[in-house]
Amino acid sequence: MGELDELDAEIKSLRANVDQLRERLCTQFFGQEDTVERLILALLSGGHVLLEGAPGLGKTTLVHALSGGVDLKFQRLQCTPDLMPTDVLGGRILHTDAEGRSKGMTLEKGPIFTNVLLADEINRATPRTQSALLEAMQERQVTLHDTTHKLDPPFMVVATQNPIEMEGTYPLPEAQLDRFLFKLELSLPDFADIVRILEETTGNASQVTGPCLSKEALLRLQHHVREVSAPSTVSEYVARLILCTHPTHESAPEIVQRMVRHGAGLRGGQSIILAAKARALLRGAENASVDDAASVASVALRHRLIPSFEGEASGFDADEVLAAALEAAR
């Protein structure tokens, strides 16, 4: 078997593992197949995900199911207004002997030192604590007391948040929002799915088998995603789309000019192309396509648009605005 044949066989085997993971998540999180698919795309792209929805829709359940399906270290951080940055990052601890004499300082690492971090209800933490995640999300490292600590790959933050109009929440700053690859919004399931959820979650818990993906397999998948080709037609389409989200650009549709104050930046374009490559890999294609990019564009950009005064006053709908931008970019 040649080198290319071995590579094809490896990718085919890894895709089968991802299919198994998808199937497991869909059996534990009913009625949200699109959300499951996009969460997997973010995992393979090495990106972070922001999950938004009202309490009780299963945001935490979904992330727990993901951590159980992938053999990675997992930490859960419950965000509250009194949570401090040291509760996230860690700090130095003074140790003493039985007589109270100092035995020196040691570093106590916080929950950020993991592979998958669930930041539950992130918008209930204060801006100061939210900002403690910025360096880790972008640089994959944490600086404590002038010492930089690299985080073990892979590293993924899945943050859940309640709708911002709910009481006791703090809006995430634009710099933090921009570090999320996707923003996924959960809606109320339909009647049939609600019935199934009620039946499945009020009986004996089903047996959960071992992980579908190992850490090494996931790292290989992330490597293969980067190797998928994105033709110039895809890059040009994404570039046009980014420009179409800026109200001052000549290609921006009328709704963007009225509703948007600032459009998406380059990080948004990078997110689209990475996710498009992951989607192409999973469907067995050698190259990402414009359709791959278009299919993930809305969830990659909806949290990167800053509404204008008119947009805020009229009830800003990022997906409606992006639909117009997507059409203009074609």
Predicted confidence (pLDDT) at residue 94 exceeds the cutoff of 70: no
Query: Is 253 within the bounds of a domain?
Result: yes
227 pLDDT band (50/70/90 cuts)? very high
Comparing C-alpha atoms, which of 184, 180, 177, 153 is closest to residue 271? 180
**CA–CA gap between residue 52 and residue 185 (Å, rounded):** 5
Summarised one tens digit per residue, pLDDT across range 245-254 is: 999 999 999 9
Checking DSSP bridges between strand 306-307 and strand 156-161, what pairing results, if any?
unpaired
Q: Structural domain tally of the chain?
A: 1
Please give the residue range of the domain that contains residue 275: 229-330
Within-domain flag for 260: yes
User: Containing H/E element for 25?
Assistant: helix 3-28
* Mean predicted lDDT score pLDDT of the chain: 89
pLDDT tens for each residue of 44-85 = 999 999 998 877 778 888 888 888 889 889 999 999 999 999
Does residue 12 lie in a domain region?
no
Beta bridge partners of 105: 94
Angle between helices 290-301 and 33-45 (to 10 degrees): 100
- Identify the band that residue 163 occupies on the pLDDT scale cut at 50, 70 and 90: confident
Among residues 263, 265, 238, 268, which one has the least CA distance to residue 253?
Answer: 263
On whether residue 170 sits in a domain, the answer given is no
In a domain, 139, yes or no: no
Give the whole-angstrom CA distance, residue 205 versus residue 213: 22
- pLDDT tens column, 292-314: 999 999 999 999 999 999 999 98
- For the cut 90, the answer to whether the pLDDT of residue 317 exceeds it is yes
Kindly report the CATH number assigned to the domain that includes residue 250: 1.10.8.80
Residue 229 DSSP class: B
In DSSP terms, which residues pair with 161 in a beta bridge? 52
The structure tokens listed for 122 are 């992130």
Amino acid at 323: A
Residue 97's pLDDT band, with cuts at 50, 70 and 90, is low
pLDDT at 211 over 90: no
Which DSSP state fits 53? -
Asked if 66 and 38 touch (Cβ cutoff 8 Å), the reply is: no
Instruction: Decide if pLDDT at 114 tops 60.
Output: yes
